[in-house]
Amino acid sequence: MHINELGQLNNVLQRPCTHYDERPEGEVSLLVIHNISLPAGEFATPYVDDLFMGAIDCTAHESFADLKGLRVSAHCFIRRTGEVIQYVPFEKRAWHAGISMFEGRERCNDFSVGIELEGTDTLAYTQAQYNALHLVTKALMAKYPEINRSRIVGHCDIAPGRKTDPGASFDWQYYFDLVF
C-alpha cells in the first residue's frame, strides 16, 4: 500500500466526501483508531457510508435521530471484510475526533488521521480488519514519520470520559505486533 502526493491510498476505494477542510499547518503526526456501526452492532449496512457522505436518512432507524445535521468523516473506514474505503485525503483535516486532546494539545483533528473500524467496543474485530489496518498504518508511517508507536491511540485516549472506542475488544498488543 502506498500514499500518493495528494494523500490518497492506492488500491482502495476512494469515496470523496465534503466533510473536511484544510489542516492549519499541514502536519500529520497522530493516528487515531475508532469504531463505528450503524445501527449500533449491525454490520455491512450502507449507513456508515451514508453518514460520511452526508446522505444518511435519519428516519431509516430510530437510533439515527441524533445524527440529523451531523457532519463527520474519517480518513478511512475498514469494513469487517478488510475492505478499505478512503473518504478524506490524509493531507486534509477530517472531522473525526471532536473535542479532544493529546499530550496537552487540543483539536486533534488538526494533526491526526482518523481510521474507523466497522465494529463495537465489545465485539472482536476480524483478522481481515487487523491485516488492512496494519497495511494502512505502515503506509502512514512511511509517509508521515512522526507517527510512531507512542503516537497511535484510540479515540478513548484523546477524548476520555466522552468516547470509549475502539473499546476493550480491540487487541492493541496483536495490532502492535503486526506493525512493529
Give mean pLDDT, residues 129-149: 98
* pLDDT, average across residues 95-106: 97
pLDDT of residue 50: 97
Query: pLDDT digit string (tens) for 40-90?
Result: 999 999 999 999 999 999 999 999 999 999 999 999 999 999 999 999 999
What's the chain's average pLDDT?
A: 97
Q: What is the pLDDT of residue 27?
A: 84
CB 118 within 8 A of CB 36: yes
The pLDDT, as a whole number, for residue 94 is 97
Residue 26 clears pLDDT 80, i.e. is over it: no
Question: Which residue numbers are catalytic?
Answer: 116
For residue 155, what pLDDT band results from cuts at 50, 70 and 90? very high
